[in-house]
Amino acid sequence: MGKSSKDKRDLYYRKAKEEGWRARSAFKLLQLDSQFHLLQGLNRVVDLCAAPGSWSQVLSQRVQNEDAKIVAVDLQPMSPIDGVVTLQADITHPKTLSRILDIFGGEPADFVCSDGAPDVTGLHDLDEYIQAQLILSALELATALLRPGGSFVAKIFRGRDIDLMYSQLGLLFEKVTCAKPRSSRGTSLEAFIVCQGYTPRPGWKPQLGKPLQVGDTIESQGQDLEERMVAPFIACGDLSAYDSDATYSNKKAKTSLDPVQSPTAPPYKKAVDMRRKGLLRK
Ligand code: SAM
Q: Is the CB of 51 within 6 Å of ligand 1?
A: yes
Give the pLDDT confidence of 145-192 residue by residue, as tens digits.
999 999 999 999 887 778 888 888 998 999 999 999 999 988 888 999
User: In this structure, which residue's CA is closest to atom 4 in ligand 1?
Assistant: 54
Distance, in Å, from the CA atom of 161 to the CA atom of 158, rounded to the nearest integer, reads: 8
Ligand 1 atom at shortest distance from the alpha carbon of 118: 19
91 contacts 134 by C-beta, under 8 angstroms: yes
**Higher pLDDT among residues 22 and 261, named by residue:** 22
Q: Which of 14-23, 145-154, 192-201, 266-275 has the lowest mean pLDDT?
A: 266-275
74 lines ligand 1 (CB under 6 A): yes
Averaged pLDDT of the chain: 85
What kind and span of H or E run contains 196? strand 190-198
| HSE-CB for 175 with a 13 A CA cutoff | 13
Question: Using an 8 Å Cβ cutoff, are 47 and 71 in contact?
Answer: yes
**What's the confidence (pLDDT) of residue 215?**
47
Residue 226 has pLDDT above 70, yes or no: no
- Per-residue pLDDT averaged across 22-34, rounded? 96
Instruction: Please compute the mean of the pLDDT values over residues 192-216 and round it to a whole number.
Output: 72
Residue 71 has pLDDT above 80, yes or no: yes
Active centre residues (catalytic)? 155
Tell me, in angstroms, the distance from the centre of ligand 1 to residue 25's CA. Answer: 11
Q: Read off the pLDDT of residues 271-281 as tens digits, 9 standing for 90 and up.
A: 878 888 888 77
pLDDT the model gives residue 214:
43
- pLDDT grade for 247, boundaries at 50, 70 and 90: confident
Split at pLDDT 50, 70, 90, the class of 3 is low
Percentage of the chain exceeding pLDDT 70: 85
| Most confidently predicted of 36-40, 157-161, 186-190, 231-235 | 36-40
Kindly give the number of the ligand 1 atom that is closest to the alpha carbon of 92: 23
Rounded Cα distance between 177 and 180, Å, is 10
How much is the CA Rg of the chain, to the nearest whole Å?
Answer: 20
Q: What percent of the chain has pLDDT over 90?
A: 50
Beta carbon of 153 within 6 Å of any ligand 1 atom = no
Ligand 1 neighbourhood includes 75 CB (under 6 angstroms): yes
User: What pLDDT is stored for residue 106 in this prediction?
Assistant: 93
